[in-house]
Amino acid sequence: MRCILENRIKYFTFAMCLMATLFCFSGCFGTLVTPLVSINECVASWDSQNNASSYDFVINDVTFNTTKTSFDIAPYLTTGRQSIKVKAYSNSIFISDSEYSTENVFYIGNTLLSTPTNTLAPTEDNLYVFSWDNVINADTYVIKIQSLEDNSITYASSESNSVSIKRYLTLGGSYNVSVRAVSYDYTIYAPSEYTDATEFVCYVPVDTPVVNNITKSVSSYYLSWGAVDNATSYRVTTLNGNSMVVNSTSANITGLLNSNTTFVFVQAIASGYNLDSAYSNGVSCFKQTSKQEYADTTLNFVGQNFDLVANDTDELKSITYYTLLYRIESIQFYIDYLNTNTEKMNAIYHYLGEYNEIKSINISITYNTSSMFTLKVSYGHISTPNLSATGNCTTIQNEEVVPSSYATTNLRSSTFDDFAIEDRTLSAEVFTSDQLYYVIQNGCKPVFASSSCPAKVVYDLAKQVLISIISNDMNDYQKVCAIFEWLTYNTTYDHNLLTLSQTASSATLSQYRGFYIEGVLLDNGQAVCDGIAKTFVLLCGLENIDCYKVSGLAGEGVNINPANGSSHAWNKVKIAIGEEAEQWYTVDCTWADFLSTANSGSTNYVETLSHSYFLVTDAEISGDHFEQEPDTNESVTDFDYFGFTQLGTSLDLYATNLTDLQLMLSYANDHNMTQLEFMTNNLSADAVRTLVNNTFGASWRVLYIGNQYVIYES
């Protein structure tokens, strides 16, 4: 009994000591500082605290929890009295949460802005652009998008009188959309009423037809396919540009076959609340009866003519690449330049494995004594992705560090369509976004099988991006810089999809839009490196700037190689800078984002735009990037973004000492800049932080990786 009592006394004593210790620590570390809130142009912001995990933002008694240190209040402004306060939550047991800030009270003016008129409903035909007439004295517009399935509301904003809301929609979803006008001078002007809600549906593509083989009856050729629900008709298209629309599930296609070999594709045409389907895989028709006729058959692969008798490695490569690019299910050809059938079979398998864009395939190869081969391919890798991002990203984009290279003068009109890609003389037909990026990076301009094919949808969206950031008087360097900044700022790496890729099959992964251009342009920028790199090719190609995707490995650390790297994709681009001749440079929009925690101890990460992987050499990134199949377009020309970019007439972005840094900060302060990116080889992080705090105060945040810094007003 005594032993038990002694143990209890010991435990009680230990608990009291622990409580005293915790009390001591709590008293030592104290309480989070109450946030200081300010408002500028309908954005409330407050000072960041290192030990805060999140913040409660309260506007007019409605509470929102956020990890950011700013909040757009435009959607929540009402008439009359407005009240705002903020509370910081601690991420440590030794530090208490802050008190709520003093209420920031202000009053909305009595002059009610006019309600926007002449709203144009978002539809698939206009790429879900919602538009309205401008309102006098309005500085911005708030667009309210309400799901009719769960009544959830999403807000978008636009300083112009139109906005594409595609990124906020789910295929098959029904929505109400409305808009109101807001003035930044809210002490005079009250926000307008919302317009009456416009109901619309984000259409769903119908299924892709499953096509049978082409059959011959006497001198006519027939094609048939399975019926597709909600299809009203079907479009039959060939790679030589011929097309026909029929109302049944079979067609006499004799009139489309104007060569010895023809590859045929079928699309289901929908109506109502549905979209046209993706095109089917390619079905082949061979009318040749001799080897000479195969040799006389001319096909074109991204500008290179070839026939169906391979006389060298380039021609065999074109045959196999052409087959996979257009998802052809069966193709016949001869090989004349190798000695044995085993060598010929191995060569076919080699080029099938070399093609990067399709991995999930089953292959059957047969041949006869005359060396004619028949290659049959079954595709597990779908042609058009149909799944959006895998959930809310654990990473968010730092919206306080924004692009600075967009065009500000001589802007293109909203209907501009004279893109430089039209100067290209070579062309190739495309159905999918992967075909689109591939033919563009190989010097062709795309020819679309129909206006509703997936390639045309993302092509038109890409044009709208370039209209908003590029002007005709920009040189290629300025265009590439603007494209780089747009992609880096508007994409957020989908780590959920990366995790899935470590266990899921290639066939499963092919369904997710994050691996394609669709992830960037249709899914609010949620994508992985492959989708980002393909989009960079598309945007540069529209401006007729040579660019292509590089496949390889990457990883933190040094000496990345096949044994320790993870799959990655980035780009090479060819431009002239200043008076120099055109050179190849390396760009990685994925790795250019600085990654930092939202707050100390937080599991949420924030991406911040930087130029750390903008126009660099292969050597500069060789420590963390490994090119699996190095090509002849080496990036060897040094370009120094920080030395090239000027502040005013005499300052570059290098701080060799405290005096240099002070000059930069003074320039930024004098010109009301809210962000600055620079490089220093001699200054410590503490020295930089101290000088930034002395110049701007604690409201500026300092981020750095190695010797590169991004500082900004938070």
Residue 236 and residue 264 share a domain? yes
pLDDT at res. 14: 41
Annotate 34-53 with b (16+ C-beta within 10 A) or e (fewer): bbebebeebebbbbbbebbb
Q: What is the pTM of this model?
A: 0.81
Residue 277 and residue 140 share a domain? no
By mean pLDDT, which of 19-28, 207-216, 661-670 is the weakest? 19-28
Residue 278 and residue 154 share a domain? no
**Cα–Cα distance, 436 to 325 (Å, whole number):** 10
Two structure tokens written together for 398: 């730092």
3-state secondary structure of 22: helix
The 10s digit of each residue's pLDDT in 309-323 is 999 999 999 999 999
Helix (H) or strand (E) run with residue 538 in it = helix 529-542
Residue 462 and residue 317 share a domain? no
Q: How many domains is the chain partitioned into structurally?
A: 5
pLDDT at res. 604: 66
Tell me the CATH number at 69.
Answer: 2.60.40
Q: What is the DSSP letter of 512?
A: B
Residue 577 and residue 533 share a domain? yes
Residue 62 and residue 135 share a domain? no
End residue of a domain, out of 607, 638, 669: 638
pLDDT at res. 563: 67
By mean pLDDT, which of 268-272, 409-413, 454-458, 461-465 is the weakest? 268-272
- For range 384-389, the mean pLDDT: 80
**Cα–Cα distance, 586 to 530 (Å, whole number):** 15
Q: Which amino acid is at 240?
A: N
Average pLDDT, the chain: 88
**Cα–Cα distance, 386 to 510 (Å, whole number):** 9
What are the E-state strand segments in 6-91?
A: 37-40, 43-46, 52-59, 62-66, 70-72, 81-90
- Burial of 708 per CB tally in 10 Å (0-12, 13-18, 19+): middle
Residue 650 lies in a domain: no
DSSP 435-491: HHHHHHHTTPEEEES-TTSHHHHHHHHHHHHHHHH-BTT--HHHHHHHHHHHHHHH-
Q: Which domain holds residue 675?
A: 658-713
Q: How many of the other CB atoms lie within 10 Å of CB of 333?
A: 25
Residue 573 and residue 478 share a domain? yes
The 10s digit of each residue's pLDDT in 392-441 is 666 788 888 999 999 999 999 888 999 999 999 999 999 999 999 999 99
Q: Could you tell me which residue, 90 or 14, shows the higher pLDDT?
A: 90
Q: Which residues, at least 6 apart from 507, have a Cβ–Cβ distance to it below 8 Å?
A: 360, 380, 381, 382
**Cα–Cα distance, 267 to 572 (Å, whole number):** 35
Q: Are strands 111-112 and 189-190 parallel, antiparallel or unpaired?
A: parallel
Residue 120 and residue 62 share a domain? no
Predicted confidence band of residue 173 (pLDDT cuts 50, 70, 90): confident
By mean pLDDT, which of 220-229, 270-279, 301-310, 348-357 is the weakest? 270-279
Residue 651 lies in a domain: no
Residue 45 and residue 126 share a domain? no
The 10s digit of each residue's pLDDT in 631-659 is 778 899 999 999 999 998 889 999 999 99
